Amino acid sequence: MITRILLSALIFAAAIPADTLRMRDGSSVNGDFLGATADDIRFSVHGEVQHFARANVAQIIFSPAQGDVAPPASQPVPASAPVVSSEPDWVVRGPDYPNAPFLRGATGFIPFEREVAMASRGGGMYGLGGTVYRIQGARSNVRVRQSDRVVFVVRFESGGDPRQFQLFRLESRMGYRQTPMSNGGMPMGLPVTITQVGDRVYETTPTRALAPGEYAVSPTNSNESYCFGVDY
């Protein structure tokens, strides 16, 4: 009896698809994606939380949603599910340019300021502080107001998952912006809610109103940064 229970449990566990990290050295790791910072990816492997350097990860492959279980509100709707939307046609179609986020405006999509963040030592005693990622210019030329509803939209050609895009608050310094440091590493991305609005088209909104300041949306496997600022 015990043997049958254990065998059933193993079969059930094997049937559950997992997210996959493809490493730059050619290896891969199966588990569950938990989140990412600018230089660290958290993965649950056999129930244990492990950390992987973002620079060592070539790709994150997300598993499809399972069965008829409804996904949490913060997760995308399964791609196979029919999308019923009351949004205008241009919203459902998504941006013309795929695989990159855009701000949703009143009548169309607005490009972010697109930059590449550069890794730098964050200071600290004897220059041994953690790594920060810096973007040239203290202020983005793409601006929204604090009263605006901030929504960024991405349309994938195929195989993409909106969870790969993380939203970060940036500290504005003289001549550049940078991700803030936390104890031993980088801060987590800000919490967001993801909604599917069309075929491979997803909207992401911050779960809390954004305070005035500088921000960037960045994929977990790239230093590309899609920047904007929030004004009073």
Token digits of residue 162: 């909106």
Those residues whose C-beta lies under 8 Å from the C-beta of residue 68, and which sit 6 or more positions away, are none
Mean of all residue pLDDT scores within the chain: 79
Report the distance separating Cα 33 and Cα 19, nearest Å: 6
- Asked whether the beta carbons of 128 and 170 are under 8 A apart, the reply is no
Report the distance separating Cα 80 and Cα 82, nearest Å: 7
Q: Residue 164's closest CA among 178, 179, 152, 177?
A: 152
Report the distance separating Cα 202 and Cα 85, nearest Å: 12
Q: Residue 167's closest CA among 148, 187, 185?
A: 187
State the DSSP string of 186-212.
PPPPPPEEEEEEETTEEEEEESSPPPS
CB burial of residue 183 (10 Å; 0-12, 13-18, 19+):
exposed
Q: What percent of the chain stands above pLDDT 70?
A: 74
CB burial of residue 159 (10 Å; 0-12, 13-18, 19+):
exposed
Of these ranges, 37-46, 169-178, 181-190, the one predicted with the greatest mean pLDDT is 169-178
Judged against a pLDDT cut of 80, whether residue 191 lies above it is answered with yes
Q: Which domains does the chain have, with CATH numbers?
A: 1-63 (2.30.30.100), 68-231 (no CATH)
Q: Which amino acid is at 95?
A: P
Judged against a pLDDT cut of 70, whether residue 73 lies above it is answered with no
Model pTM? Answer: 0.64
- Asked whether the beta carbons of 31 and 43 are under 8 A apart, the reply is yes
State the DSSP string of 58-109.
EEEEPPPPPTTPPPPTTSPPPTTS-----S-HHHHH--SS-SS-EEE-SSSE
Confidence band for 12, pLDDT divided at 50, 70 and 90: very low
Judged against a pLDDT cut of 60, whether residue 219 lies above it is answered with yes
Name the least confident of 41-50, 194-203, 212-221: 41-50
Report the distance separating Cα 227 and Cα 100, nearest Å: 12
